[in-house]
Amino acid sequence: MAMNRIIVITSGKGGVGKTTCTANLGMALAKSGKRVVVIDADFGLRNLDLLLGLENRIVYTALDVLAGECRLDQALVKDKRQPNLALLPAAQNRSKESITPDQMKKLVRALTKAYNFVLIDSPAGIEMGFRNAIAAAREAIIVTTPEISAVRDAVRVIGLLEANDVKAMRLVINRLKPAMVEAQQMMSVKDVQDILAVPLLGVIPDDEQVVVSTNNGEPLILDKELSQAGTAVSNIARRLQGEKVPLMDLSVPKDSFFTKLRRLFD
């Protein structure tokens, strides 16, 4: 039986890591042998191409496909590092209103013929761009950070997803700082989960390596030795496919003599 999953990655609030999650999750799923297409639904402010390092290979966008100016496969940018992964780029010089929910459904429907996973990277906000992004989705990954503003927006988005019949929702808590949680200066995973009441899919610790990976346009999943954040995303990809993977240990190691010594040089 063909196994098709259509998943929107959304958050309400901007800057919490939706696009980074989409890029890395797409890469992780592709690496595990699934055929994956990631759709940039952020028309006018596209960035998924940059995070994947595919920005200079874009010729056509989703809008050109809809206008009949090219076939769908011509617009897809195939990742040379990971042949199972393709990107459907958004147009950069247009607005969120340049595409409709029905058109998005049409694109996704065609893509499910050739791909096991269709990941849709939603724009921030809850307006037209968001409506387009969720239109075709059957599952949702809510990305949030342990900050009150992000969690508040996530609550709103969860309500909207329910109202639009996207019932299979899972939560990713991004940019958690274990030391702050331990010092009781940041909401814990449990705190956030209590408020959102959505099943937890994973926790990604705050990791400087994410900045480096973004700078280079090389998703964390491509690293030979996975960083903490890379491991977290890789675990998320496995859980998404039904595997039971325990949450990684994010407790802060007790200071040894050497770590104390190193702090002196930090």
Partner 1 sequence: MISDFFERLFGSREPVSRNTAKQRLRFVLAHDRSDISPQNLEKLRQEILEVVSRYVELDLDGLEFSLESDQRMTALIANLPIRRARSTPLAADSPVVEATDAKIELGNEPVDLDNTVEEASETADIPLD
Taking the complex as a whole, the smallest distance from the CB of residue 243 to partner 1 amounts, in Å, to: 8
Nearer to partner 1, 150 or 171 (CB): 171
Q: What is the CB-side half-sphere exposure of residue 80 using CA atoms within 13 A?
A: 5
Site string for partner 1, 47-66 (x = CB under 8 A): ---x--x-xx-xxxx--xxx
Site for partner 1 contains 251 (CB under 8 A): no
Q: Measure the N-to-C terminal CA separation of the chain; round to a whole number of Å.
A: 54
Site for partner 1 contains 211 (CB under 8 A): yes
Candidate ranges 124-132, 157-165, 177-185, 241-249; the one touching partner 1 (CB under 8 A): 241-249
- 32, 35, 92, 223: residue in contact with partner 1 (rule CB under 8 A): 92
Which amino acid is it at 71? Answer: R
Site for partner 1 contains 216 (CB under 8 A): yes
Site for partner 1 contains 114 (CB under 8 A): yes
Site for partner 1 contains 110 (CB under 8 A): yes
Q: Which residues contact 247 (CB under 8 A, 6 or more apart)?
A: 189, 200, 202, 203, 235
CA distance 6 to 22: 13
Dihedral sign computed on CA atoms, order 228, 231, 237, 238? negative
Which 3 state secondary structure label does DSSP give 14? coil
Take residue 149 and report the two structure tokens written for it: 């503003």
- 35, 81, 94, 170: residue in contact with partner 1 (rule CB under 8 A): 170
DSSP string covering 115-126: -SEEEEEPPSSS
Take residue 64 and report the two structure tokens written for it: 């050109």
- 8, 9, 52, 107: residue in contact with partner 1 (rule CB under 8 A): 107
Tell me 46's DSSP state. -
Whats the size of the chain, residue-wise?
Answer: 266
Site string for partner 1, 190-209 (x = CB under 8 A): x--x----xxxxx-------
- 84, 214, 231, 234: residue in contact with partner 1 (rule CB under 8 A): 214
Residue in 154, 163, 138, 149 with CA at minimum distance from that of residue 200: 154
**Binding to partner 1 in span 2-21, by CB under 8 A:** 2-6
Burial class (CB in 10 A: 0-12, 13-18, 19+), 64: middle
Taking the complex as a whole, the smallest distance from the CB of residue 259 to partner 1 amounts, in Å, to: 8
Site for partner 1 contains 260 (CB under 8 A): no
Binding interface with partner 1 (CB under 8 A): 1-6, 50, 53, 55-56, 58-61, 64-66, 69, 71-73, 76, 78, 92-93, 106-107, 109-114, 138-139, 167-171, 189-190, 193, 198-202, 211-212, 214-217, 239-242, 244-247, 258-259, 262, 265
